[in-house]
Amino acid sequence: MKIKPLNDRVLVTRVEEEQKTAGGIIIPDTAKEKPQEGKVVAVGPGKMNDDGKRTALNVKAGDRILFSKYAGSEIKIDGVEHIFMREDDVLGILE
């Protein structure tokens, strides 16, 4: 299924964290927090400003980003979990 976000929305998949600590201890699924890092899958065309023109987004498909802990809405597309969020919820782009 193809999906295109609207306005200043971004579609993100979470990046999985390591299953072990630095000391080699395996962390069970129930003790893990959801990662706040993800990969941008798709972006919308941008936000409309007061002049009626679109402002382009700073993120693009393929970027690795950090986002706020409770950002966006979680959805499943073809069995894969994604998050729809506004660009304002993106904290930064990882290089």
> Which domains does the chain possess?
9-17+29-94 (2.30.33.40)
CA pair distance 83, 11, nearest whole angstrom: 6
pLDDT value for 43: 92
The predicted structure's pLDDT at residue 52: 85
Higher-scoring residue by pLDDT: 16, 77: 77
Residue 85 to residue 66: CA distance in whole angstroms: 12
Residue 32 has a pLDDT of: 55
CB 45 within 8 A of CB 7: yes
Residue type, 21: T
What tens digit of pLDDT does each residue of 21-66 get?
566 676 665 555 566 889 999 999 988 888 888 888 889 999 999 9
